[in-house]
Chains A and B, each alone.
Chain A
Amino acid sequence: SQQGEEDPQALSIQEGENATMNCSYKTSINNLQWYRQNSGRGLVHLILIRSNEREKHSGRLRVTLDTSKKSSSLLITASRAADTASYFCAFKETSGSRLTFGEGTQLTVNP
């Protein structure tokens, strides 16, 4: 089973700036999800986008999915110090039975 690739591995920005994280995969998927993990805590689900959707919004989050490029991006607008965390994409391959997580992007938002 392939692991998703995320970039950048680490991102440091100032409060108020936008943060963009990318995720790529190699096969066909049913859906793609984004999760956040604060240090020492469990993962928290942020948003799910299905393979027939191209864009989805939730508050300050915007997720896009390009199935032709096999990639997704997570945009956090007007970032806050509280957004500091690791962000993971996770996807379900159509041929597989498991959810595969990416390697994560460590986001640091400086006040």
Chain B
Amino acid sequence: DAGVIQSPRHEVTEMGQEVTLRCKPISGHNSLFWYRQTMMRGLELLIYFNNNVPIDDSGMPEDRFSAKMPNASFSTLKIQPSEPRDSAVYFCASSTGTALAPYNEQFFGPGTRLTVL
């Protein structure tokens, strides 16, 4: 298996632009997580899906952030409009589990390093 795949690996954009990050989870995994990592705040869970349904989006910082999972093999995290403070590494992870017990071993993708100028 190729593991969790994220694209792009690096993204540099200007403030106000729309940014879309993509993730392909490991086949057979039914839970998908989006995290953000910064030096100041560490690793933060933004949202997680179980069986393509968003279960907990309380970590999404504000309305500028949205995430979708149209099918079991694809998810997007969109920021519109982007701001410099959104600069971070965004990780996607997947695992097996249920909506109430999703926290088995998580497999992380390589991350997308986002820089908003």
Q: Which A residues fall within an 8 A CB radius of B?
A: 3, 30-31, 33, 35, 41-45, 48, 88, 92, 97-104
Contacts and interface: CB of A to CB of B under 8 A. Distances in A.
B104 interface: yes
Given A43-B91, A103-B42, A104-B42, A98 B59 contact: yes
Interface residues of B, number: 23
Nearest to B48: A98
Nearest to A88: B43
Interface string B44-56: 0100100000011
Given A42-B108, A42-B109, A31 B103 contact: yes
Contacts of B4: 42
B45 A98 contact: yes
Contacts of B25: none
B111 A99 contact: no
Nearest to A97: B56
Count chain B CB atoms within 10 A of each CB in A30, A31, A43, A101 and give the residue with the most. A43
